[in-house]
């Protein structure tokens, strides 16, 4: 009996060791592929909020970290700098809308050096399918309504949903979600506009450049 138990224990230990090794090998083999896919997806979204005609650099690697309450989180957030022939032309700021209906919503806001909002995209969210998820470009084109907008002040009243007297549409039965995105985009855009000169001088410390 004891011999059998020892034998079975050894077999289980070997199986566990082999499983751990297989997981480690799989992780090693797929890590680079996953990282490359993430880079491609990031480039795709960056080129949506900052048109390729405005830059000749790879924005994903021209990145600096900033910390400001306007971005909806105490954590450092990436800002991607667009340049053309070495001169800054625009930037894309990641920010958090902490007050989504089902939790935080991460957005990316593109702003050019003339203080025009080039575009906004939702990077992640947990909003209700069929209602709040219309903030996602894969579901509706609502988020395209930000393109070409300007900000006259930090509290520009136009930057609100219709229900609050603003210029952005809301969703039937889901006003909380678009309101959260509009507010986050407004705050991030104003932050970028007011701090662009400081931001472009910061070290590129989050996208692979030194």
Domains of the chain by residue range: 48-201
Strands (DSSP E) contained in the chain are 63-66, 77-84, 87-100, 103-112, 117-124
- Check residue 210 and give its pLDDT: 38
Choice between 26 and 209, residue whose per-residue pLDDT is larger: 26
Closest by CA to 112, choosing from 51, 180, 164, 28, is 51
The whole-angstrom separation of Cα 24 and Cα 199 is 39
Model confidence pLDDT, tens digit, residues 25-40: 655 556 556 555 656 7
Model confidence pLDDT, tens digit, residues 68-110: 999 999 999 999 999 999 999 999 999 999 999 999 999 999 9
Round the average pLDDT of the chain to a whole number and report it.
88
How far apart, in Å, do the first and last CA atoms of the chain sit?
63
What DSSP state is assigned to residue 91?
E
Q: What tokens appear for 165 in the block?
A: 């007297």
Whole-structure pTM value = 0.81
Q: Is the dihedral of CA 57, 58, 61, 62 positive or negative?
A: positive
- Asked if the model's pLDDT at residue 128 lies above 60, the reply is yes
- Check residue 208 and give its pLDDT: 47
Percent of the chain beyond pLDDT 70? Answer: 80
């Amino acid at each position: 009996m004891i011999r059998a138990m020892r034998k079975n224990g050894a077999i289980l230990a070997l199986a566990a060791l082999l499983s751990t090794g297989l997981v480690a090998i799989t992780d090693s083999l797929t890590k680079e592929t996953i990282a490359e896919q993430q880079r491609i997806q990031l480039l795709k979204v960056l080129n949506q909020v900052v048109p390729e005609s405005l830059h000749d650099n790879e924005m994903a690697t021209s990145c600096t970290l900033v910390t400001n309450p306007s971005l909806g989180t105490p954590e450092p957030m990436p800002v991607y700098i667009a340049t053309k022939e070495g001169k800054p032309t625009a930037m894309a700021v990641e920010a958090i809308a902490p007050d989504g209906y089902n939790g935080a919503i991460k957005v990316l806001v593109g702003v050019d050096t003339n203080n025009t909002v080039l575009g906004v995209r939702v990077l992640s969210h947990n909003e209700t399918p069929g209602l709040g998820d219309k903030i996602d470009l894969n579901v509706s084109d609502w988020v395209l309504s930000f393109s070409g907008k300007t900000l006259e002040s930090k509290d520009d009243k136009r930057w609100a949903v219709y229900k609050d007297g603003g210029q952005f549409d809301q969703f039937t039965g889901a006003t909380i979600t678009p309101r959260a995105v509009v507010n986050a985009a407004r705050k991030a855009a104003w932050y970028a506009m007011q701090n662009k000169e400081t931001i472009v001088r910061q070290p590129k410390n989050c996208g692979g450049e030194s």
